[in-house]
Amino acid sequence: MKKTLFSKTLPMLAVTTLGLVGCEPMTSEAPPPAGVRAQPQESVNGLSFNGLSFNGLSFNGLSFNGLSFNGLSSTAFSTWFQANPTLADMAMRYVVRCAVPAGQTRSYTSPSTGLQYTWEGGLGLAPGWASGAAATLAEQQVVSACLAAHGNRLGESLLISVLGRDGMGNVIPYTAGELSTYSRQESCFFGNLFLDEGIHVGADRAPLGPQESTSRACAGLLHDGTEAQVPCAPMVYVGACASHCALDASGLFYESCTLDGVTYLPITTRLSPADVKECGDGVCQATEQCGTSSRYDSCALDCGPCP
């Protein structure tokens, strides 16, 4: 899996129901041979080949509502991209990272400016679509879940562990070291942005303590559910993952989630404990507020009293 440090902000993105007909393999390199599992290793550009990925997509960047995605060389794609190249470039960075295998790239050249945009593959969750075929239902679901898993309400870039299966049912590679380092279970994500079925997030852990905070949390994922609702639309909080999802035999991730009679292929995430901040660590985190107590939203210890 490749790691890329993303921008800290992403404004509202209108892209639509990715009715994908093929993410054409333009400017690509061959993936590892069949049956060869990519090993966790650092390359000169800082990318590693496992199930780790930098998140950083702001929640409103998940509002897919206008793009009929018929391949990078289609007129529809070009029209959509040129409407707002900055936002489209950011969106495609995440789409390609989720769908296309590590070691491959996808490129697009703007006919109006001549600028070339290149996006690196990573998790390779949609091998058929990445090879130019129409996206299967499983690929639509898992890429949607992957995009949601990369959401961060502050647009911060945190390294997360991404677990699950790709669109062909293969387990996303992981290592014992990954599970040890990213030991804090977090969430499950499922839905289908392609078919406008929405995107959902569930809790795969106990709530955060009142002094804890993370830019990954929203709404019911906060410590007791009584705080003001943190914006995370279009993601909808559905409670505990176990209420909707079935664990894989390994017990490490959910293999399916069902909501309103529809079964989805989900993504399960884990965090490093170091990325869960605590009031009292001496730093006024972006997730903390001034106040009079040791709660994250009234953290006098780190942020001082409010003016």
Q: Give me the residue spans of the domains in the chain.
A: 52-275, 281-307
Instruction: Return the pLDDT at 31.
Output: 35
Mean pLDDT within 100-129: 92
Higher pLDDT, 2 or 258: 258
User: Which of 25-34, 37-46, 51-60 has the least mean pLDDT?
Assistant: 37-46
DSSP the chain: ----PPPS------------S-----S--PPPPTTPPPP--B-TTS-BSSSEEE--B-GGGG---S-----TTSHHHHHHHHHSHHHHHHHHHHHHHHHSBTT-EEEEE-TTT--EEEEE-BB---HHHHTTSPPPHHHHHHHHHHHHHTB-TT----EEEEEEB-TTSPBPP--HHHHHHS-EEEEEEEEETTTT-EEEEEE-SPPPPTTEE-TT--GGGSSSS-SPPPP-TTEEEEEEGGGTEEE-TTSSSEEEEEETTEEE--EEEEE-GGGSEETTSSS--TT---SSBEETTEEHHHH----
Q: State the pLDDT confidence band at 200, using cuts at 50, 70 and 90.
A: very high
Instruction: Return the pLDDT at 306.
Output: 94
Mean pLDDT within 37-45: 27
Q: State the pLDDT confidence band at 247, using cuts at 50, 70 and 90.
A: very high
Instruction: Return the pLDDT at 52.
Output: 47
User: Which of 2-6, 16-20, 87-91, 152-156 has the least mean pLDDT?
Assistant: 2-6
Mean pLDDT within 62-67: 43
User: Which of 10-24, 153-167, 266-280 has the least mean pLDDT?
Assistant: 10-24
Average pLDDT across the chain, whole number: 76
pTM recorded for the entire structure: 0.78
Q: State the pLDDT confidence band at 70, using cuts at 50, 70 and 90.
A: low
Reply yes or no on whether the pLDDT at 227 is more than 60. Answer: no
Higher pLDDT, 56 or 76: 76
Mean pLDDT within 188-204: 89
